[in-house]
Amino acid sequence: MRTGLIALAVIVLLAIVAVATGFVNLSGNAGELPKVAVQGGELPSVDADVGKVVVGTKETTVDVPKVEVGTTKTDIEVPVVGVQKADGK
């Protein structure tokens, strides 16, 4: 088995050297793709029941730092994102 592997390695090395030195020239014709025509047919219909993403604002109180030492509560509007589940059938 060992002899077979060594023989295979030598053959591969000889092939690589033959191609690299130009002793063997591997060339061919570039082929072309076949011409195909498609006619008719229609797209599949798809019914999707998906959920909704609800985006809005709500009023909340957050700490807002002041220049002086301490914080003050200030009412601001912050973004709100909610998800409504689909009406599954």
| Cβ atoms of residues 53 and 81 within 8 Å | yes
Domain ranges in the chain are 51-83
**CA-to-CA distance for 8 and 1, rounded, in angstroms?**
11
Residue with tokens 């082929």: 31
**CA-to-CA distance for 82 and 56, rounded, in angstroms?**
9
Token pair for residue 58? Answer: 């709500």
SS3 assignment, position 23: coil
pTM above 0.75, yes or no: no
Taking only the tens of pLDDT, the chain with its 89 residues reads: 889 899 999 999 988 888 888 887 777 777 888 898 888 888 888 888 888 888 999 999 999 887 777 788 899 999 998 887 777 65
Largest CA-CA distance found in the chain, in angstroms, rounded: 88
